[in-house]
A and B are shown apart, each in its own frame.
Chain A
Amino acid sequence: MWARIINTLLGVWLMAAPAVLGSTDAIRTNEWIVGPLAVSSAIIAVAEVTRPVRWVNTALGLWLVVAPWVLGADWAAFVNSTVVGLFLIGCSLVRGRLRHRMGGGWAALWSPNTSD
């Protein structure tokens, strides 16, 4: 749960960062897009049935690390994107507790039915 909370807060920070850091252009637009996506993925992944959605934040985090090189950024935006990206990846790798059984989950939909 805490990993999802941290990633939610990181996403919110990304939305506010351009105003705080004075970022411009592509890197600013990038944070305005990645921010809400990160927040949404983290919130959706709180539920056990949609826990795998946390991997979306792994991908977003990787993009955030690469983005300053691709889009160009001033020093502050560069550090911000890299650090936030790394934390986003790190927390997304934390699966969290699975307390419920759900009939085999989504995988049961395409695995062959065994005994029944």
Chain B
Amino acid sequence: MTPPGWSYNPSDWSQRLPLIGLAVVGFGIAGYLTLYQLGVFTTVWDPFFSGGSERILHSCLSRVLPIPDAALGALGYLLDAVSGAVGGRMRWRTMPWVVILFGVAIGPLGLVSVLLVIVQPVLFDAWCTLCLASAFLSVVLIGPAMDEVLASLQHLKREAVRGQSWWIVFWGTAAGAQGEPRYGADGSRFAVRN
């Protein structure tokens, strides 16, 4: 259902499915790059910058962690997809923690992607097409994902003002449902139920 004062429901499947789909595509790209970094593929597809992708994907930075950094990207996209898919149309209200997790997965990970884009030419004097595509995807996900986060945060604030423990409301509906007011479709409040 629509949050009070909203003209649409940000937790609606029509809002979330495209983001889940993009996250799955991102997982595919990152998975492919991971397989290249692991040596499963000996070449990597780059239609624009010959040699560039190889330089970036085998750079010292890509080997800083025990797992190839593309694998981290793949895990990030997986978290995006799962946290985007869990919960029904009212999850902005019934499970704020999942929505916040979704926001945390998409936001900071997207910004890390931008950082890695900057690093490509500055540190390695090279470009990697699929890395750029993946970063572009990460950034595209950020804007549309934030409306759900806003709705949940507004809900937490409303409940806190009403005297509810925001911590309990944060973790889900069972604890927070006591005495929750009912909202009409236009956002107006009626009959507080105890």
Q: Report A's interface with B, CB cutoff 8 A.
A: 15, 18, 29, 32-33, 36-37, 39-40, 43-50, 53, 100-106, 108-109, 113, 116
Q: B1-46: which have CB < 8 Å to A?
A: 3-8
Q: Pick 26 A–B contacts, CB within 8 A, sort by A.
A: A29-B122, A32-B118, A32-B121, A36-B114, A36-B117, A39-B139, A40-B110, A43-B136, A43-B139, A43-B142, A44-B139, A45-B143, A47-B143, A50-B142, A50-B143, A100-B6, A100-B8, A101-B7, A103-B5, A103-B6, A103-B187, A104-B154, A105-B150, A109-B154, A113-B157, A116-B162
Contacts of A105 in B (CB 8 A): 150
Contacts of A116 in B (CB 8 A): 158, 161-162, 189
Query: Given the complex of chains A and B, what is the CA–CA distance between A36 and B4 in angstroms?
Result: 36
Q: Report B's interface with A, CB cutoff 8 A.
A: 3-8, 110-111, 114, 117-118, 121-122, 135-136, 139-140, 142-144, 146-147, 150-151, 153-154, 157-158, 161-162, 187, 189
Q: Are A50 and B146 in contact (CB under 8 A)?
A: yes
Option from A36, A44, A46, A103 in Cβ contact (under 8 Å) with B151: A103
Q: Are B122 and A108 in contact (CB under 8 A)?
A: no
Q: Which of B114, B150, B157, B158 has the most CB of A within 10 A?
A: B150
Query: Given the complex of chains A and B, what is the CA–CA distance between A43 and B136 in angstroms?
Result: 9
Count contacts between A and B, CB distance < 8 Å. 80
Q: Are B189 and A47 in contact (CB under 8 A)?
A: no
Q: Are B150 and A102 in contact (CB under 8 A)?
A: yes
Other 12 A-B pairs with CB < 8 A, given A40-B110, A43-B139, A108-B157: A18-B121, A37-B114, A40-B111, A43-B140, A44-B139, A44-B143, A45-B143, A102-B6, A102-B7, A103-B154, A106-B150, A108-B5
Contact status of A49 and B146, CB under 8 A, knowing A44-B139, A100-B8: yes
Contacts of A45 in B (CB 8 A): 143
Chain A residue with the shortest CB-CB distance to B144: A47
Q: Are A102 and B118 in contact (CB under 8 A)?
A: no
A55 to chain B, nearest CB (A): 15
Query: Given the complex of chains A and B, what is the CA–CA distance between A101 and B111 in angstroms?
Result: 27
